[in-house]
Structure 1
Amino acid sequence: MSINLTLIAQALAFAALIWLIATFIWPPLLNAIEERQKKIAEGLAAAERSQKDLAQAQEQVDAAMRDARAKANEVIDQAHQRANQIIEQARNEAVAEANRQKELAQAEIEVAANRAREQLRQQVAALAVTGAEKVLRREIDASAHKALLDELAAEI
């Protein structure tokens, strides 16, 4: 019977041990496991939120880069337009200066031509007087016939 009594004692000891474990050890152990599961779930949720935040931040960076490129292209286009305006303005100023120089040169040429015509008229008048003297074989008074000589010079 001693085996039966030993078996009963061992069964009672085992039952007491199960009761102690179920009462004092198992609830804190389950609480620790549940807390660990919550922490892991929170960590996974935080990692997922971080990935979403990273994706949003990347999208914002991409949008900012697109905006920066667009603005840079706009600035470059404005610079090209301004350069073209400056070139066009310089070209217009050069053309205007060339026209002004041309007009001045034409005016000088016209003045010189008028001067040459006047000198030629005077020389023709002198030649006409000399020729008339030779034809008439006498001297013609230039001061007395000034009106006639001026008329002759104007016709030439």
Structure 2
Amino acid sequence: MNINLTLIAQALAFAALIWLIATYIWPPLLRAIEERQQKIAEGLAAAERSQMDLAKAQDQVDAAMREARSKANEVIDQAHHRANQIIEQAKNDAVAEANRQKEIAQAEIDAAANRAREDLRRQVSTLAVAGAEKLLKREIDANAHKALLDELAAEI
């Protein structure tokens, strides 16, 4: 056995093996590696997009919360304003009702005072007539002298 022939045969076998690997095995292996790299890159890009979308969504949520708080504060302010209006209206209505009741009471007091004056005038005129009867020692006819008694009552 010749060492040169063995070395050449091994070199040819090695070259054939390299050619087979480079032709049939290496391209699919490279394609698989490239596909895997592409999938990893797409996954990383998708994760980055998701992070950006999450940040945008968080910003939108924050903006919506600020707007909701603002609107809630507006509604609360409007409710306080309306409550103050209702209280003020109730106070005004109460004052108006108190004034009306006061006027009614004053009218009743005035009417009672007028009735009391009329009663007092009648009593005074009756007493005056009674006093005049005693002075004159005779009876005065009330119907005959009604005009005189009315005039006397009006003067008193």
Q: Same fold (TM over 0.5)?
A: yes
Larger displacement relative to structure 2 (32-41 or 133-142): 133-142
Which residue number corresponds to residue 64 of structure 1? Answer: 64
- What is the CA deviation profile of residues 124-145 of structure 1, one whole-angstrom value per residue up to 9, with x for unaligned ones? 1222223334444554454444
> Which residue number corresponds to residue 124 of structure 1?
124
Match of 2:15 in 1: 15
Q: Secondary structure at the match of 1:117?
A: helix
Alignment of 1:31-42 (within 5 A): 31-42=31-42
Report the more deviating stretch, 38-47 or 137-146: 137-146
What residue is the counterpart of 1:103 in the other structure?
103
Q: What's the counterpart of residue 4 of structure 1?
A: 4
Report how far residue 112 of structure 1 moved: 0.7
TM-score norm. by structure 2 comes to 0.83
Amino acid at match of 2:96: A
TM-score of the aligned structures, taking structure 1 as reference length: 0.83
Query: Which stretches in structure 1 are left out of the alignment for 5+ residues?
Result: none
Report the equivalent of 1:92.
92
The CA deviation string for residues 11-48 of structure 1, in whole angstroms up to 9 with x for no partner, is: 22222222222222222211211111111111111111
Query: What are the ranges of 5 or more consecutive residues in structure 2 without an aligned counterpart?
Result: none
Partner amino acid, structure 2, of 1:22: A
Measure the CA separation in 2 of the matches of 1:28 and 1:127.
143
- Partner residue in 1 for 2:150: 150
What CA RMSD, in Å, does the superposition of the two structures yield over aligned residues?
Answer: 2.2
Count of residue correspondences:
156
What's the secondary structure of 1:106's corresponding residue?
A: helix
Residue-by-residue CA offset, 1:23-79 (whole Å, 9 max, x unaligned): 222222112111111111111111111111111122222222222222222233333
Q: CA deviation at 1:123?
A: 1.3
Structure ranking higher on relative contact order (CA contacts 8 Å, 6+ apart): 2
| SS of corresponding position for 2:123 | helix
CA distance in 1, matches of 2:17, 2:9: 12
CA offset digits 1:84-126 (Å, max 9, x no partner):
3333333222222222221111111111100000111111122
